A and B are shown apart, each in its own frame.
Chain A
Amino acid sequence: MNVMARLNSGTMYLICGGIIAFVAAVCVIFALRAWRAGKAIGMDTSVMLKVIRSSASFSVLPAVAILLGVIALSGALGVPWPWLRLSVIGALHYETQVAHGAAEQVGIELAGEAMTARAFSTIALLMSACIMWGMVLNLFFNKKYSSTLRRRGESKGPSFGDTAMTAMFIGLVSAYIGSYIGSLISGHARFDLAGDPVPLLCAAAAAVGMMIFTRLSKVKGLKWLEDFSLALAMLAGMAAAILFRILFPAAGSGAEAAAESARLMLGGVTL
């Protein structure tokens, strides 16, 4: 059996699936404990159900995009390992970057036919080690840090904490929207106006979608829309992206992108 066949073998599914099952069990435990604690402190169960509905509906679309990351990496690393990496701790943008850097260090291209057993186990170790620091910090500092934050949140006087969190999130959103504006105006060089307009247009379409669904959810009888407005607005933005891409075909889109995806699936190209 060659390396790629072994990377896609039942044993690999068992090892990776076992770890994913453990993490899923941890999530179930945390969810059940939070539900019970919420009831114990007198939270309205309908509010908690609303949170569950909204979180579940919102997560489906980003999860499908993450699945595409699994597919992109599967050509070089098999299916089970990227499945594990993107289900546990991994991040879509991180995995391809680190996998590529790790492949360089072991002196191969990140491609199916170039993969050796030693290269794979080294790449796998590096992918795990580089991103583990959030968990290490949680081990040692989560308790102290969150107790400090809680004390501030529950202090009798007016607290800036809630406003600060909203401001931080506005900063986060602004960084991304700013990057879409910058990418459009300075695509490859400063002020070349040759950038890709699709991300900005897609964001605008999703914003319009959000406005429509927020307004509709205020209408009597359509209150249920509130829980799904974010997911539906994202869907509207993504659907609009299909149209925008037809109007503004980017280099490497269409047939070229399809061919690129096919090559990735066959593991014949460096990521």
Chain B
Amino acid sequence: MTMKDPYESYTKKTHLIGRIATLITLCLLLGAPFVIGAYLGAMPDLGAAARGFISVGLVWTVSSVVEFLVYLPMLGSGGGYLAMITGNLINMKIPCAVNSRDLAGVKAGTKENEIVSTLSIAVSSLVTVLVLAAGVLLLQPLLPVLESPVLRPAFDQVVPALFGAMAFKYYRGHLKLALWPLLLMSALFILVPSLKSQTSIMILPSGALAILLAWFGWKKERAAG
């Protein structure tokens, strides 16, 4: 009789728990507007919701499919379930998981990366929940600080600060690889200024170009032995 691999059993249970948690969260999120509607004495207008979905929801549906395909390899299976449930992928979960992978020195697609990514996203989500809960609880005393005109520019620039720090970390070792996507993106945003509201979509051509260049580099290295 062969011993059951503990990691296999972990993975199987991760999918089971992930699916159950996802299903319950979906029911809670879609059910909440109806529960709140019952409390307020007015149920959602399903016709208006359907029209709204066609006008604003379809874009996000396409974006969700792309996010799933592109980000799941970075997040791993457990991290994927958690990140999709807790949200804030680009501005928090992806950089957090990628940074943790680097700190731990593990490679994408391995068992260790799966553990590191899940741990990292779970901790990041818990910290977000705690900060938001504390913030909501202390909203009145915190408001003057958070809304202070002096501090406001700092909080407005969290994403540029995050990507600036990450740029140093990733460009440093891969200058040649980073150069072309950066040039292409800069040129596109300069020539088509309206694109700046579509930055999250522009990740796709930028990422595709970087992967293509990395592929050529990788093949060349392999050929050279």
Contact = CB atoms under 8 A, between A and B. Distances in A.
A175 B199 contact: yes
Contact of B189 (A50, A104, A181): A181
A251 to B, nearest CB: 14
Contacts of A33: 10, 13-14, 17, 78, 118
B189 A67 contact: no
Contact of A128 (B13, B30, B82): B30
B52 A142 contact: no
Given A88-B25, A129-B49, A174 B132 contact: no
A121 B36 contact: yes
B26 A122 contact: no
Contacts of A98: 56-57, 60
B141 interface: no
Given A54-B100, A130-B60, A253 B153 contact: yes
Given A142-B77, A170-B181, A165 B108 contact: yes
Chain B's interface size range is: 35 or more
A136 B218 CA distance: 35
Looking at chain B's contact residues, is the secondary structure mostly helix, strand, loop, or mixed? helix
Given A170-B181, A182-B193, A20 B129 contact: yes
Interface residues of A, number: 168
A101 B158 CA distance: 25
B150 interface: yes
A41 B53 CA distance: 45
Interface string B81-121: 11011111111101110111001110111111111101111
30 contacts: A6-B39, A26-B82, A29-B17, A34-B78, A40-B7, A48-B116, A58-B99, A63-B132, A66-B132, A88-B85, A89-B29, A102-B56, A121-B42, A128-B30, A130-B56, A137-B65, A164-B211, A164-B215, A167-B214, A170-B210, A172-B207, A174-B185, A175-B203, A175-B207, A182-B189, A230-B99, A238-B158, A241-B153, A241-B154, A265-B147
